[in-house]
Structure 1
């Protein structure tokens, strides 16, 4: 499938006319019709009902059209951003992050960075910590925010904050009668671990916290996304151990309790290329320090 197939289909779907679409595209109608047939062969589905007047989209065609609109709009954004950067109007700066970082300091940091440097085009990539290593080395991202320390001479890591972990319970769970709970108590409960993959990840950090105390949680479910894990907690499937910032979800069907064990943290770590000496990174580091200091007050 090539980009022209998407553009041709978009024209047909938006006009519901092969003749009008051909005129918009400045091509003859027969080759346009052949291209749409070719697209249908590629996706293995009929997209256009040709016997109706005017022509109509099939259910598969309506779905494909919705996706095409989003994709072409994104491509236009990429083209426009590329032109601005090539013309010197903007620089490109890509941020990688683990999802749980978005419930803590990272949104405030990005907001300040954008205000501080409105000339920068900022991109975002959701990546677990280990994926950030390859992305940094290949230049796909300029900075990453994760939770696992990276042992690689090409990557420099700065721990921004040690975030306390909390237990997440469904409503009316018996342990909610306590002001705090222990890891031993959690280990005896039905436990939900996340993310299931890729590994290593925050899941291994949680398992190590238990293992250091000779505990082995009763894992009944592994979820790929943190929000899925929280949803399973709400459904009464089990309990979970989450960073304290997750309370920012403000779910009415999940209740959190602090741990009675001392010094149980998950760090938020900023990862960069060790050789990167850019002014942008220096500014981001400085802003990160300000945000951490403000949030710790």
Structure 2
């Protein structure tokens, strides 16, 4: 039994058509039939019921399809990770990040990487659900920047810095640091913020912040995309609350008013990571 035979089986189990499957896996129909028959003979199990017109999975075939699909996925993940380790300095590193570091920290970090590891290929992912922990555990990312520390025994985290969150208002808005005495003064303001019902860290931070001030915002637009929010604020559609990092976007006609609340940035990676390149990348992030 080979991995290739199992992959042939899984493709046929999905298509249930020898000719279409053979085309999909780039082999002849006779080769595919021979490989499937060889797999059945070796296991002593009939995987498919065949006649001249139809191909159907047996109950045993259905069971193996369910379990082998997971096994092959795991093998592919392990193979990808081994390939990264083997490639070393000129290899590939995937990084996930929150959108708030797009305008300042992330460009500086990538500039440092490019100067010190010029042959390194970097893949960037901005997950909308911020599930960096799962991305690391599934080997779909190697390094995750996140606003909260990941509590997982198999993941290491390092706090990089803290920064204030800010009210973001149009340039001509009446509000400034001195004029804001009580948050309830903003009860008639229209807010453009992350949906407070969401499970993301920033949505949770906003909920706690508003609860602490006994304030319920009048939200007119919900969005997790800071760049979009800044543009809407600049057009005087509403005001928002964002991390100070977004100030580096230099969107015209907006002002940032720092609040008495901070948000952190962490770098997270798999514990006992054998990939030397990833270890080097973690060292370079400390320089930034």
State the TM-score, normalizing by the size of structure 1. 0.60
Q: Does 1:184 align with 2:179?
A: no
C-alpha spacing 1:288/1:85, structure 2 compared with 1 (3 Å) = closer
Could you tell me how far 1:187 is from its partner in structure 2?
5.0
Match of 1:254 in 2: 254
Higher radius of gyration, 1 or 2: 2
Q: How far off is 1:150 after superposition? A: 2.5
| SS of match in other structure, 2:199 | coil
Name the SS for the 1:173 alignment partner. Answer: coil
Q: Over residues 9-30 of structure 1, what are the superposed CA-to-partner deviations in whole Å (9 max), with x where a residue is unaligned?
A: xxxxxxxxxxxxxxxxxxxxxx
Shift of residue 89, structure 1, vs aligned partner? 8.3
Aligned to 2:115: 115
Q: Distance in 2 between matches of 1:88 and 1:152?
A: 26
Q: Distance in 1 between matches of 2:123 and 2:230?
A: 27
The secondary structure found in structure 2 opposite 1:103 is: coil
| Counterpart in the other structure of 1:99 | 99
**Partner Cα distance (1:272, 1:183) in 2:** 41
User: Does 1:274 pair with 2:271?
Assistant: yes
Task: Give the conservation status (yes or no) of the 8 Å contact 1:109–1:288.
Answer: yes
- 1:92 deviation in Å? 0.9
In 2 relative to 1, CA 277–128 (structure 1 residues): closer, same or farther, beyond 3 Å? farther
**Post-superposition offset of 1:196:** 7.2
Q: In structure 1, the residue corresponding to 2:175 is in which secondary structure?
A: helix
Q: 1:276 to 1:112 in 2, by over 3 A?
A: same
Q: 1:129 to 1:104 in 2, by over 3 A?
A: farther
Cα offset, 1:107, TM superposition = 1.4
Give RMSD over aligned pairs: 2.9
Q: Shift of the alpha carbon at 1:155?
A: 2.5
Deviation string, structure 1 residues 234-272 (Cα, Å, up to 9, x no partner): 22222111111211121222122222x3xx111111121
- Is the 2:98–2:130 Cα contact (8 Å) retained in structure 1? no
Confirm or deny: 8 A CA contact 2:135 2:141 kept in the other structure: yes
CA deviation map 1:27-79 (0-9, x unaligned)? xxxxxxxxxxxxxxxxxxxxxxxxxxxxxxxxxxxxxxxxxxxxxxxxxxxxx
Aligned-pair CA distance for 1:87: 8.0
**Alpha-carbon deviation of 1:145?**
0.9
| Cα deviations by residue, 1:184-232 (Å, 9 ceiling, x for unpaired) | 2575232221267963242222222222343333322211311121122
| TM-aligned CA deviation for residue 112 of structure 1 | 0.6
Task: Give how far 1:138 is off.
Answer: 1.3
Aligned to 1:137: 137
Report the CA distance between 1:156 and its aligned residue: 2.2
User: What runs of 5+ residues in structure 2 fail to find an aligned partner?
Assistant: 1-82
Residue 91 of structure 1 deviates from its aligned partner by 0.8
Q: What's the secondary structure of 1:174's corresponding residue?
A: coil
User: What is the aligned partner in structure 2 of residue 285 from structure 1?
Assistant: 282
> Structure 1 pair 250/142, CA: closer, same or farther in 2 (3 Å)?
same
Query: Deviation of residue 118 (structure 1)?
Result: 1.7
Q: 1:249 to 1:88 in 2, by over 3 A?
A: closer
Query: What SS class does the counterpart of residue 251 from structure 1 fall into?
Result: coil
For the residue of structure 2 that corresponds to 1:286, the secondary structure is helix
Q: CA deviation at 1:149?
A: 2.9
Which 5+ residue runs of structure 1 have no aligned equivalent?
1-82, 292-297
